[in-house]
Amino acid sequence: MNPSPLDDIVINDKVNEICALEGGTGLTPAEKLVLRGSLARQTYKEIAANIGYSHTYIQQQVGPDLWKRLSDVFGEEIKKTNCWDVLPRLCENANLMPPPFKEDVEPLNDPEPSPLSSTTRKLDTASESLVQDWGQVPDISGFCGREPELERLQQEIVDGCRLITLFGTVRIGKTWLAVKLAQKIRDQYTCLIWRSLDWNSPPLMQDLLKDLIQVISGDKETKTDLSYLVDCLLNQHCLIILDGFESVLQTGVHDGSYRSGYEDYREFIEKVGQAAHQSCVILTSREHPQDIDLMEYQIPKVFSLKIDGFGESTIQRMLAPKGLYGSDGDWRSLSSRYEGNPTVLTAVAKDLKLFGGNITAFIQQPNLSIPTVTLYLFEEQFQRLSQLEQEMIQFLANYHEPPLFDDLVSAFRENALEDLRTAFSSLMRRDIIHVREGRYFVRPLMAAYIQDCAE
């Protein structure tokens, strides 16, 4: 028996209210159900069976995310095994606190509000409320640049684009761009949902559908029917962002297939792209899904944008405050050498401290050096490749000059020509190689990783 005068339903509602005030968004439908079951001391398996989600999704993603979030919001460790003791006390204490001033909850006249500023917001042109569920959206307070990309994407959305894919190499800024875009266009929609597809346990399609439909319906529906979701997209203006779509694609192959158990994501993509709805689904991915690559040639309202690195002016705006200095040419060389990759260049800025921030002295080094703290990014990317892809980019990285296709056919004569073409198409979809004037080039950072680390 719960010793607190607050029952489980009241605790659940109070926790949701506190999360909305302190963290900017209330609990997701799945989090509410997990919390309610946990307060009743149910196991994850029992919770999953009762609410219709898969056990793996509840135990490995929803549960851990929920306890971390609650611990951050309340400033005290909250776990599944202590929530029934800790949360009643914390909610009782919260009842004794005076409510915050409105200015503390939602600042006035904020020209570019954070996605975490409120759970709901009134539209400027209608009395209908905007439902926002940002999930585990990252903080982009340091965002800069990307004006041309944002302008292009906003125009595509104005033109009625219903499926957009932002793809590019590791940590090039796809997620940040998607957040910034969502901030700018959210008032065009009645419902906004952000979901990050965790690589270790991305949600099965039935779990994702149930989650999306619950949010869109205001917790009134718990269906797992793709056709029902498409109806929602037809009848409402929804903006759905799925970050990290590569998580559902199979590794170790170059045929663009999906992971076992995630094959129905293909149908999801097809239905969302083909149906004439009034909503928009945005994907970010380290590789361009093959299905979408084909759809773009057939459906005008499907659009993909390859995200390249930043130019030297943006890199200078980012890194000059960290004590780096040099001529315009130095900044251009630094940006080019590291492909304008903001994550890698931020790590390079730390290495530059050894040179007193002097870019001129740093770029005089003969070899491209990847900061140790970012090597794992390229290891992850390399390990996603098929064996043939790995062998091909190792050949490209160590060949005396960028080869022609005939050179590659000669070097890999034991492989069928069609297999070589498929592998090269895959490497281009993964943004690891590019072709210029008939010659094949490996991206400099991946080439440096291969020459230094790959076996």
Q: Looking at the domain assignment, is residue 107 inside a domain?
A: no
Q: Looking at the domain assignment, is residue 1 inside a domain?
A: no
381: domain CATH number is 1.10.10
pLDDT at residue 113, as a whole number: 40
pLDDT at residue 100, as a whole number: 37
pLDDT at residue 304, as a whole number: 97
pLDDT string in tens for the chain (455-residue length): 344 456 778 888 889 888 877 766 778 878 888 999 999 999 998 888 887 777 888 888 889 989 998 998 888 999 999 998 999 988 888 764 433 333 333 332 333 444 443 333 333 333 357 899 999 899 888 888 899 999 999 999 999 999 999 999 999 999 999 999 999 999 999 999 999 998 788 999 999 999 999 999 998 998 999 999 999 999 999 999 999 999 999 999 999 999 999 999 999 999 999 999 999 999 999 999 999 999 999 999 999 999 999 999 999 999 999 999 999 999 999 999 999 999 999 999 999 999 999 999 999 987 778 999 999 999 999 999 999 999 999 999 999 899 999 999 999 999 999 999 999 999 999 999 999 999 999 999 999 999 888 55
Residues 393 and 414 in one domain: yes
403-407: list long-range contacts, CB under 8 Å, 24+ apart: 403/439, 403/440, 404/438, 404/439, 404/440, 405/438, 405/440
Residues 389 and 279 in one domain: no
CB–CB of 251/383 below 8 Å?
yes
How many independent structural domains does the chain possess? 4
Q: Looking at the domain assignment, is residue 3 inside a domain?
A: no
Q: Which helix (H) or strand (E) holds 379?
A: helix 375-383
Q: What does the DSSP 8-state code read for residue 354?
A: G
Looking at 306, 325, 347, the residue that finishes a domain is 306
Residues 13 and 152 in one domain: no
Residues 211 and 234 in one domain: yes
Give the orientation angle of helix 417-429 with respect to helix 387-398, to 10 degrees.
80
167: domain CATH number is 3.40.50.300
Angle at 137 between CA 133 and CA 140, to 5 degrees: 130
Residues 56 and 73 in one domain: yes
Residues 233 and 301 in one domain: yes
Q: Looking at the domain assignment, is residue 2 inside a domain?
A: no
pLDDT at residue 8, as a whole number: 79
Residues 213 and 330 in one domain: no
pLDDT at residue 324, as a whole number: 95
Contacts (Cβ under 8 Å, ≥6 apart) of 396: 402, 403, 433, 440, 441, 442, 447
CB–CB of 378/446 below 8 Å?
yes
pLDDT at residue 455, as a whole number: 52
Distance CA 122, CA 186 (A): 11
Residues 382 and 346 in one domain: no
Residues 302 and 381 in one domain: no
Q: Looking at the domain assignment, is residue 255 inside a domain?
A: yes
Residues 341 and 296 in one domain: no
- pTM score, whole prediction: 0.76
Looking at 282, 306, 330, the residue that finishes a domain is 306
Q: Looking at the domain assignment, is residue 111 inside a domain?
A: no
pLDDT at residue 104, as a whole number: 32
Q: Looking at the domain assignment, is residue 332 inside a domain?
A: yes
Which domain covers residue 414, as residue numbers? 376-452
pLDDT at residue 453, as a whole number: 80
Q: What does the DSSP 8-state code read for residue 236?
A: S
Residues 272 and 216 in one domain: yes
CB–CB of 19/118 below 8 Å?
no
Q: Looking at the domain assignment, is residue 163 inside a domain?
A: yes
Residues 285 and 341 in one domain: no
